[in-house]
Structure 1
């Protein structure tokens, strides 16, 4: 480790010296870049992540002086991956730099990939609002490059987080749109009932029984096979329990479905919100009688 750190410092000093030297041919930036790259690698081997990140930023600067935007963008990405281990805010900043360069040179697929990576970093920090922003950007870029499967994965993240933030209408529109797109794809059409179930759960969270009834009719028109599914029955039965203000019926319906198809934590959280609203309404009516 100590040897690697010493080597890294030596390479970095040589690189800095090279930058201050006079060069008629202007190759000093290429020479310095080579030394900064070696320094960064040695810092990585020494697990000195911040110093490695700094060297990659300096490497990116050298590439920019040489007008090598793709290499500069790659160096910013390398810097970000070092900073991820110590300070995620710095990693995000370097990925933004890379994205700007990739957009400049028309590499939108790379920009999309790193927008998604920023979204994942925000998600890991539980910063859901910012995760939504970057998953939306990633989805737009992936869609423009016709990488539709990954675009839809990003959109599903947006819908998932929007619902967590009680932005139910936004989530509904995304899930319904993905379901609509998936119907025409043999590989994706089996996921349609899941997307419509998610949309329906978000409808239930809005507390409007008429809206959920209308939605179920719309889903039947969209996919005639949906009405025969357990997902459709679950939504219909819950809507009936909500309409009848029947907490016990609501609980039984969920238990029966969950015993055969376990509900994930996202669905459970949202359905608990529906149940709490139902309980509150029941208590309110008891107080009035």
Structure 2
């Protein structure tokens, strides 16, 4: 990863240099994952996402955020939520509302596992709205059921 960082800092704004940096960061992330070094893997994916943002490759940026979040879910779920929220922003900007909704649902599930039901309600509700907007009634209803269940448990 240090090699990728050096290349990234020395490249300036020339296209191929970012592609090389992205390739090195992706290799670093994969190697960290193989070694089960989840936090460094997530950091490499976060840096990879930043490279993709600079090259205006939004889909790749969002995918990198999601991959980083998957790694962090194993050791630091609260930190993973931050990366998933970044992916939601990118997907929303791209008009990929179904993908954004899936990530919101993932955040809600992470909050639920941590026992943070108030937060889970918020994210399930947001996911339900986006799923409904995209005519994914079944997914929207699943999220609404979770909202109702947790709201009842929380006496809301």
Q: TM-score scaled to structure 1, two decimals?
A: 0.53
Counterpart of 1:159 in structure 2 is: 148
**1:19, distance to aligned residue in structure 2 (A):** 1.2
In the alignment, the residues of structure 2 paired with residue 143 and residue 52 of structure 1 have an alpha-carbon distance, to the nearest angstrom, of 34
Q: 1:91 to 1:24 in 2, by over 3 A?
A: closer
Deviations 1:207-259 (A, max 9, x none): xxxxxxxxxxxxxxxxxxxxxxxxxxxxxxxxxxxxxxxxxxxxxxxxxxxxx
Gaps of 5+ in 2: none
Counterpart of 2:52 in structure 1 is: 63
Q: How many residues align?
A: 156
Gaps of 5+ in 1: 1-11, 168-289
Root-mean-square deviation (CA, aligned residues, Å) is 1.1
State which structure, 1 or 2, has the greater radius of gyration over its C-alpha atoms: 1
1:148 aligns with 2:137: yes
**1:46, distance to aligned residue in structure 2 (A):** 0.3
Q: Indicate conservation of the 8 Å contact 2:11/2:18, yes or no.
A: no
Counterpart of 2:15 in structure 1 is: 26
Counterpart of 2:120 in structure 1 is: 131
Counterpart of 1:111 in structure 2 is: 100
Q: 1:32 to 1:162 in 2, by over 3 A?
A: same
Q: 1:143 to 1:22 in 2, by over 3 A?
A: closer
Q: TM-score scaled to structure 2, two decimals?
A: 0.96
In the alignment, the residues of structure 2 paired with residue 22 and residue 84 of structure 1 have an alpha-carbon distance, to the nearest angstrom, of 32
In the alignment, the residues of structure 2 paired with residue 130 and residue 124 of structure 1 have an alpha-carbon distance, to the nearest angstrom, of 11
**1:23, distance to aligned residue in structure 2 (A):** 5.7
Counterpart of 2:4 in structure 1 is: 15
Superposition pairs of residues 71-90 of structure 1, within 5 angstroms: 71-90=60-79
Q: 1:66 to 1:164 in 2, by over 3 A?
A: same
Q: Whose relative contact order is higher, 1 or 2, with alpha carbons under 8 Å and at least 6 apart?
A: 2
In the alignment, the residues of structure 1 paired with residue 36 and residue 143 of structure 2 have an alpha-carbon distance, to the nearest angstrom, of 32
Counterpart of 2:28 in structure 1 is: 39
In the alignment, the residues of structure 2 paired with residue 22 and residue 75 of structure 1 have an alpha-carbon distance, to the nearest angstrom, of 21
